[in-house]
Amino acid sequence: MSSGKTPGDAEPRRVLVTGASRGIGRGIATRLARDGFDVALNFHRSKAAAEEAAEAIGALGRHAALLGFDVADRSACADAIASDVEANGTYWGAVLNAGVTRDGPFPGMSEEAWDSVLRTNLDGFYNVLRPLIMPMVRARRGGRIVTISSAAGIVGNRGQVNYSASKAGLIGATRSLAQELAKRQITVNCVAPGWIETDMLGGADADALAGAVPLKRLGTPDDVAGAVSFLFSEDGSYVTGQVLSVNGGLF
């Protein structure tokens, strides 16, 4: 299903992955590199981890560029993306994976906890895609955009009103943008993971969570990466405006 380069392409297809230094983002970036894409790896604080990811991608024979910026910072996004496009070429696709949690009961939730989650998880959609889309359109090569939402954005979750709101908003934005870009042959889809074995689980009881999943295991970053790989492939070229749940059968 790899589609990193086709005979009509003048250059390898490049993909931006946000939050790519570890966890789900790193798994996605590595999988897309295996599929033949060059990858721009966004990171915020974990530069050493991002460098490790870039080295691993280089070992696969693909080019990896490092982009250090906070997706919640609008001007930083615009500057970093413009500079990378000028240096390395237009993106053919993007995966919006960067996200944060600040969990707690809603009555006691601070303004900062609400704002920080919405600014990263939802505003990041605008901040990253706004400077990225028109170069994709002008390139006239089609493309792929995948956002990473969450099961919490579909069914909600106690203690995560801010996170659920941001991820539900991401689904609405994804579906609307898919309609706008369809005529450009740029598909826009969403992957909504359930419980995935990453640092974001924090101190949660992994065994208890796995027991609540019909498949009786937690998901892995590779499970999510496989779904993204499909959406970036030729086999996924007629899929747009959809939400693909990767949750082991939770609902």
Tell me whether residue 163 is one of the annotated catalytic residues. yes
Distance between CA atoms of 66 and 20, rounded to whole angstroms?
10
**C-alpha distance from residue 85 to each of 16, 79, 193, 224 (Å):** 10, 10, 30, 27
> pLDDT tens for residues 22-35?
999 999 999 999 99
Question: Exactly one of 91, 126, 163, 238 is catalytic; which is it?
Answer: 163
* Average pLDDT of the segment spanning 137-144: 97
Q: Give the residue from 57, 40, 30, 31 showing the smallest Cα distance to 92.
A: 40
Q: Looking at the predicted structure, is the pLDDT value of residue 9 above 60?
A: no
Residue type, 91: Y
Distance between CA atoms of 188 and 180, rounded to whole angstroms?
10
* Average pLDDT of the segment spanning 67-83: 97
Looking at residue 10, its pLDDT comes to 57
Q: Looking at the predicted structure, is the pLDDT value of residue 7 above 90?
A: no
Structure tokens at 5: 């380069």
Q: For each of the domains in the chain, give its residue range(s) and CATH number, in order of start.
A: 14-246 (3.40.50.720)
> pLDDT tens for residues 79-129?
999 999 999 999 999 999 999 999 999 999 999 999 999 999 999 999 999
* Average pLDDT of the segment spanning 190-198: 95
Structure tokens at 204: 């949660």
Looking at residue 202, its pLDDT comes to 73
Question: Structure pTM?
Answer: 0.94
Q: What angle is formed at CA 168 by the lines to CA 204 and CA 30, rounded to 5 degrees?
A: 65
Instruction: Give me the chain's average pLDDT, please.
Output: 94
Q: Give the residue from 35, 38, 71 showing the smallest Cα distance to 54.
A: 38
Q: Determine what percent of the chain is predicted with pLDDT higher than 90.
A: 90
How would DSSP label each residue in 185-245? TEEEEEEEE-SBSSGGGTT--HHHHHHTSTTSS-B-HHHHHHHHHHHHSGGGTT--S-EEE
Q: Sorting pLDDT into bands at 50, 70 and 90, what band is 5? A: low
Contact at 8 Å (CB) between 199 and 22? yes
Structural element, H or E, at residue 38: strand 38-43
Rounded to a whole number, what is the distance in angstroms from the first to the last CA of the chain?
Answer: 28
Structure tokens at 26: 């790193």
Contact at 8 Å (CB) between 232 and 15? yes
